[in-house]
Homo-oligomer: A and B are copies of this chain.
Amino acid sequence: MKLKLTIAFDGTNYAGWQSQKNSVSVQQRVEEAVAKIFPRASRLQSSSRTDTGVHALGMVAHVEIPDDDLKMPVTKFALAINAHLPCDIRVMSAARCRDDFEARFDAKGKQYRYYIWMGTAMNPLLRQQAWHVSRPLDVAAMRAAAKFFVGRHDFKSLAGTRNYEMSSTVRNLTRCDFKRNGPLLTIIIEGDGFLYKMCRGIVGTLAQVGQGKIAPGAIRGMLAERDRRAAGMTAPAHGLVLWKVFY
């Protein structure tokens, strides 16, 4: 049978989601925990990869388990796997899914949230989950700039430099909203898919708009350039949370 796992993690102590040589990844930890319960389980296939330091509340992955190995009701799976996970990773839910479910290819969209703390001193309770920007940002200007990102665009200028020659860099950004609560600014970004480091490129560029270094109207030209050097900075990883994957 195939299981759909929804996984949350604090990315601070991991080299990102994907298994790597010489460093501990979230995927590796979850696969080890799953193997304690289901020794013949497949490897995990996830909806997304996340960079070192990026967090998740709703990462989705699927795993196959031989039917003969089922020793408990599905409702107990999450609890059983969590017993073998460190406290900075949790399976939030585990449910049986269709045999042809593919966490990556079936994803219709994703929501990311990015947290910025605007204050002279950083809030120590958020130090590993928000970017500290010591002067208040002009959120109105950021909102104006965000409108140019929303829609179907070629986001090559905002993405980390990878070899995209064979694949499209066009994505549909469906939402880029702001919530402000005192010094805490939350940017909610939704789209049908995201290029490598694209979210952090958007946030870094918006922050520079908020600092008055980039004009909101410059975003259109920036996208047209299809060159990373045309856009703003890449925001740090630790402010980003993969919030939800839509199917």
A binding-site residues for B, Cβ under 8 Å? 8-10, 55, 57, 78-79, 82, 87-93, 119-125, 127, 129, 241
- A125: chain B residues within 8 A (beta carbon): 8, 10, 55, 57, 129, 241
| Residues in B neighbouring A79, C-beta threshold 8 A | 120-121
Q: Closest 6 CB pairs between A and B?
A: A90-B121, A10-B124, A88-B124, A92-B121, A90-B124, A8-B124
Q: Are B78 and A121 in contact, CB atoms less than 8 angstroms apart?
A: yes
Question: Which of A122, A124, A127 has most B Cβ within 10 Å?
Answer: A124
A137 nearest CB across to chain B (Å): 18
Distance between A123 CB and nearest chain B CB, rounded to angstroms: 6
Tell me whether A89 and B124 are in contact (CB under 8 A): yes
In the bound complex, how far is the Cα of B121 from the Cα of A82, in angstroms? 8
Q: Which residue of B lies closest to A123 (CB)?
A: B8
Residue of B nearest to A82 (CB): B121
Query: What CA separation (Å) do A122 and B121 show in the bound complex?
Result: 29
Cβ–Cβ contact B123 & A57, under 8 A? yes
Query: How distant is the Cα of A121 from the Cα of B57 in the complex, in angstroms?
Result: 11
Max chain B CB contacts within 10 Å: which of A78, A89, A92, A121?
A: A121
Q: A78-B121, A120-B79, A121-B82 are in contact. Are A127 and B10 (CB under 8 A)?
A: yes
Give the distance in Å from the alpha carbon of A228 to the alpha carbon of B227 in the complex.
Answer: 67
- Nearest B residue to A10 via CB reads B124
